[in-house]
Amino acid sequence: MWGTHLILKIFIIGPGGILCYSKNFFEQIDIDEEMISGFLRAISDFAREIKGGEIKALTFRKFNLIYSYSIEYNCIFVIVIDKDDLEEEARLKLEVMKKEFVETYKPYLENWTGNVSVFKNFDDFIEENIFIPPKILLIGEVGVGKTTIMDLFPGETIIELDGNLIETIQKPIDFIGIRDIKQCVIREIDFNELVENSRFYKTLLNSTDIILIVTNSGATNLGRTQRLISLLKPIVPKADFYIIANFQDLKDSAFSPEKIEDSFDIKTFGFSANKKESKDEIFLILKEILRTSILEKQKMKHFIATETTNEAEHRF
């Protein structure tokens, strides 16, 4: 199952169903956005007319629409997320977006003329504050080199504690030259700790898009890693798994990435964290993983175009 904890699209709809603003975070099939916004406004008005209250969310087969309202200015704010994603993070972003939009454009909303050109510069705020970056979990046993790999990335390492006082080590990683993704978040944790206490890491695992397993490429570590993967995979069905076969420079003891990939049936990248060019290589690995697990899979989902119109006609 594919899981991407990402916002796919945004709609802001003004009085009369007029589309004030929309934003695709990933390349999508062209659709009639005016028609879609009219439908979203109509279904919301219908719910109120039958005294059903405001719509909080609409669930379709491939995606969910999360709603929020500004009653004062008669605006509807909609964020579209993948159907398998949890709503909490997207709903927080939705409320941030609504607050900023109302505060920024209050004079225009109070004197509504239907001119939507004034909202174009909202892109800057959306791109900086609303996009949810993909989350990568870097795991491995002690001594396999995961901390060395983390240190290859520039920036400050952040240590966070959740409600259960579980420590998470993470870094935001900025990218240039990969379409639609400007940043990801990489988190590091010991593989044994994660598996043995997985109940304490449920929130972390549910918010992870990609699990990147580091091995030392030796037989003993690979055997233990295979066992740990078999325990972890059933409880993280939405994340994609990859392997970094570290210490490939140790020719006498390291299994090749091709051999490991055949054995594990998981895409494997050969790596040596201590090489001069290792920093460039790890960025290339991350870019390939993000393209495969995020961008390519979004293309394959066909998103809103036919799904919204076909299901809307069927239901109503």
In a structure prediction context, what are the per-residue pLDDT tens digits for the chain, which is 316 residues long?
334 456 788 999 998 889 999 988 765 545 567 777 888 888 888 887 777 678 888 887 778 889 999 999 999 999 888 776 667 878 888 999 999 999 999 999 999 998 999 998 998 898 788 877 888 999 999 999 999 999 999 888 887 766 555 677 889 888 877 766 878 899 999 999 999 999 888 888 888 889 999 999 999 999 999 999 999 999 987 899 999 999 999 988 899 999 999 999 999 999 998 888 999 999 999 999 998 887 776 655 544 444 544 554 444 4
Q: What are the residue ranges of CATH 3.30.450.70 in the chain?
A: 7-131
**Number of alpha carbons in the 13 Å side-chain half-sphere of residue 291:** 10
Residues contacting 107, CB < 8 A, separation 6+? none
Residue 27 neighbours by CB distance under 10 Å: 11
Q: What are the residue ranges of CATH 3.40.50.300 in the chain?
A: 135-299
CB 210 within 8 A of CB 181: no
Alpha-carbon distance of 232 to 211, in angstroms, equals: 10
CATH topology of domain 7-131: Beta-Lactamase (3.30.450)
pLDDT tens-digit readout, 152-175: 998 888 877 665 556 778 898 888
End-to-end distance of the chain based on CA atoms, in angstroms?
30
Query: What superfamily does domain 135-299 belong to in CATH?
Result: P-loop containing nucleotide triphosphate hydrolases (3.40.50.300)
